[in-house]
Structure formats: structure tokens, C-alpha cells
Amino acid sequence: MKRDSRLSSVLHALLHMAERGEPMTSETLAACMCTNPVVVRRTMGLLRDAGLVASARGPSGGWQIVADLNAVSLRDLYDALGEPTVFAIGNRHEAPQCLVEQAVNAALDDAFADAEALLLDRLGKITLARLSADFNRRHAAHRSRA
């Protein structure tokens, strides 16, 4: 399958929106992210449903962040996106009859569940504010080099 890149996408969009301040249209965001406005609306719509951003129609409409950057973690975004499947590796049958397969799946599920828990925990500790600060550091470094 194609990999799900929505988390990376919305983060990119959110940081651009945070830098900006005023609403950005899905067309602008799409151009910025090399994708399609409808994809942006679909994806950002999920964040709106979670109360993280707001959308407005008509002229001077667009998308804007409404949440506190310090209060939103990457885990919150992951949840807002519907908790997408984390692993590209899985069991052939989810509830097999075969005892051999049950033993195999139990062992694998265990390891994968732990790895997923760690991942989500890590995502929960990174806020948008921290990412924004990280960007500004990079930006400053970039300008001082030029």
C-alpha cells in the first residue's frame, strides 16, 4: 500500500499557518504541500472536527488554528486523523483457528503493541509549540549561514 503521510502533511500545514496568523485557503495550502485542495479540505476537516482548527467559507475565508500550540501534541493530531494504522506489517488472519497461528500471532501482537505504545507516547510528548520553536531555530541557523 501507499504509506499514510497525513500526519506529516497536517503538521507541515499547521506550522505554516502558525507562522502566518491569518486564514489560509485550502488552495494555498495545497500549492504549498504539492497536493490537491480537496485533499487538504478532507484532511483539515478532521482537525476541525477535533476542534484544532476552524474553517470559514467565502471571500476572506480559509483555515486557521484555534487551539493553543502548547496544548496540542502530535498524539492529538494522530487521534484527530482517526488513529490510522501504524504498522505496515501484520498477521495474515486476525482470529485464526489454528493453534500454531494463534501462538505466532500472540507473540507478534505483543511486540507490536509495545512498539505502538512507545510511539504514541513519544508523539504525546511533542507539542506544536515545540515544533514551531524547532523550526525557528533552524530558520535562524539557515539565515546566519547565508
Partner DNA sequence: TTTCATGTAACTTCAAATATTACGAATTAG
Partner DNA sequence: CTAATTCGTAATATTTGAAGTTACATGAAA
Residue ranges that bind DNA, judged by CB under 7 A: 1-6, 25-27, 34-39, 41-42, 44-45, 48, 55-63, 84-85, 88
The CA distance from 66 to 145, in Å, is: 34
**Contacts to ligand FES from residues 39-78, by CB under 6 A:** none
Out of DNA, a copy of itself, ligand FES, none, what residue 95 binds, judged by CB under 5 to 8 A for its kind, is: none
CB within 8 Å of 88: residues ≥ 6 apart: 1, 3
Q: Does 48 help bind a copy of itself (rule: CB under 8 A)?
A: no
Q: Which of 59, 89, 95, 145 binds a copy of itself (CB under 8 A)?
A: 89
Grid coordinates in use for 32?
504549498
Which residue of this chain has its Cβ atom nearest to ligand FES in the complex?
A: 98
Q: Residue 33 or residue 131: which is nearer to DNA going by CB?
A: 33
The candidate with the shortest Cα–Cα distance to 47, out of 25, 31, 63, 30, is 63
Comparing C-alpha atoms, which of 9, 13, 12, 24 is closest to residue 84? 9
Beta-carbon contacts of residue 112 (< 8 Å; ≥ 6 apart) = 87, 89
Binding residues (CB under 8 A) for a copy of itself: these are: 1-5, 7-9, 11-12, 15-16, 19, 33-34, 74, 84-93, 98-108, 110-112, 114-116, 118-119, 122-123, 126, 131, 134-135, 138-139, 142
